[in-house]
Structure 1
Amino acid sequence: MRYQQSDPDVRLMLRVRDDDAAAFEELLRKYHPRLVRLMRTIGPRPDLAEDLAQETFMRVFRARHRYEPGAKFSTWLFTIAANVARNAARSMGRRQEVSEVDAPAAPDGSQAVGVLAATALEASGLMPTRLVEGVERAEIVRQAVSVLGERQRTALMLSRFENLSYAEISEAMGLSTKAVKSLLSRARVNLREILQPYIDAGVIPNEVDP
């Protein structure tokens, strides 16, 4: 009842549970772009982001009659998304690793790249000595985020990009709050290591051992 009263998206999902197609379309419009951006980072390959976002919503739809509002809708959705991303990585038979991060084709693509770049720099605790623009910024994002381990990358993006709390990330990833805090701490250390050469000398590092 608490989430039903406080989260309008929970109320929408309850309508979806009752086979309200318009409510499902509303949730799809609201969250699909966010899922695509998230899957570009936590999915096994950026070019699979659209398919993985669609698969996430297919699971939401298939689970609609079993839905019970035990958390914010976004937390429940990102739990499903994280599972979809992990399953996709397993099916490819290799450790989840993002090879590149491109600006989305959507009209707000440049803004998304900027947010990702700011996320990497802010999370590392470092500040650039000069403005980072265009291709160079996208390359920094690619290098800084893609080399993180799967769980570090997921925790970081849910925290900094989706603004989930420790408790919400814990629920979405099936980890303890302590484990989430540890993941985010290690991600910040690794990002600092990745970005330090650029901050010091403008050199974009090729790789780092996370």
Structure 2
Amino acid sequence: MLRVRDDDASAFAELVARYEGRLVRLMRTMGPRADLAEDLAQETFMRVFRARKTYQPGAKFSTWLFTIAGNVARNSARSIGRRHEVNEVDAPRSQDADSGAQLLASTALDVSGMMPGRIAEGSERATIVRAAVEALSERQRMAMMLSRFENMSYVEIAETMDLTTKAVKSLLSRARVNLKESLQAYIETGVLSMPSDRSDDDDSDAEDS
């Protein structure tokens, strides 16, 4: 990134090649529509390039990058919400997006002792698990993505999301509980029960605690 700051075009190309796949995967879960993931990843890189002259080495580059990505995802969601152009249920989904959601849910279920193999198989399973993950609040999903896909520590996630480490621990714990409750209800009744504790207002309580 220091080379990018000095207008080294090859260094910027190297950054894009190194992080593009990870950004697209993040945006498929964090963005308002899975089919916008690649566009949102490109917007993130453009913001990185525009901000290159003010870049100062401090935290890990990936922490800085994912902070920008989170802002891009939130701005996109607000913009689409204002235009009322999106129906989330009808938005196109890719196999990679399904896999990402299932991996998050499977991780949560492993922790709680519930094996994902007990859930319906095939496309039904993918739909149920994806719906459970998407029912989480935005910050719960992002915290889980950064923890499970990017292997970030509590401190790094806190820096990326501008939270305290205590709030991050609370977000991750509540995300796992919410996933467990949603999927346990489906296993027992065949009906997916969305958690009531899923709003960003609830998450802000953790930040203040």
TM-score (norm 2): 0.80
The aligned residue for residue 149 of structure 1 is: 137
Which digits, 9 at most, give the CA deviation of each residue in 1:114-137, with x for residues without a partner?
453132122242212448654234
How far apart are 1:197 and its partner, in Å? 2.9
Provide closer, same or farther for how the CA distance between residues 183 and 101 of structure 1 changes in structure 2, counting only shifts above 3 A: farther
Distance 1:176 1:47 in 2: 32
User: Is the aligned partner of 1:24 residue 2:12?
Assistant: yes
Which amino acid is the alignment partner of residue 161 of structure 1?
F
The aligned residue for residue 10 of structure 1 is: none
RMSD: 2.5
Provide closer, same or farther for how the CA distance between residues 98 and 150 of structure 1 changes in structure 2, counting only shifts above 3 A: farther
Which amino acid is the alignment partner of residue 62 of structure 2?
S
Contact 1:42 1:153 in 2 (8 A): yes
The aligned residue for residue 118 of structure 1 is: 103
User: Is the aligned partner of 1:139 residue 2:127?
Assistant: yes
Distance 2:67 2:130 in 1: 24
TM-score (norm 1): 0.80
Sequence identity, in percent? 65
Distance 1:34 1:101 in 2: 20
Provide closer, same or farther for how the CA distance between residues 25 and 141 of structure 1 changes in structure 2, counting only shifts above 3 A: farther
Which amino acid is the alignment partner of residue 89 of structure 1?
A
Give the total of aligned pairs: 190
Identify the structure with the greater helix proportion: 2
Structure 1 stretches lacking a partner, 5+ long: 1-12
Distance 1:192 1:206 in 2: 10
Distance 1:83 1:68 in 2: 19
Structure 2 stretches lacking a partner, 5+ long: 199-209
The aligned residue for residue 177 of structure 1 is: 165
Distance 2:162 2:78 in 1: 17
- SS in structure 1 of the partner of residue 94 of structure 2: coil
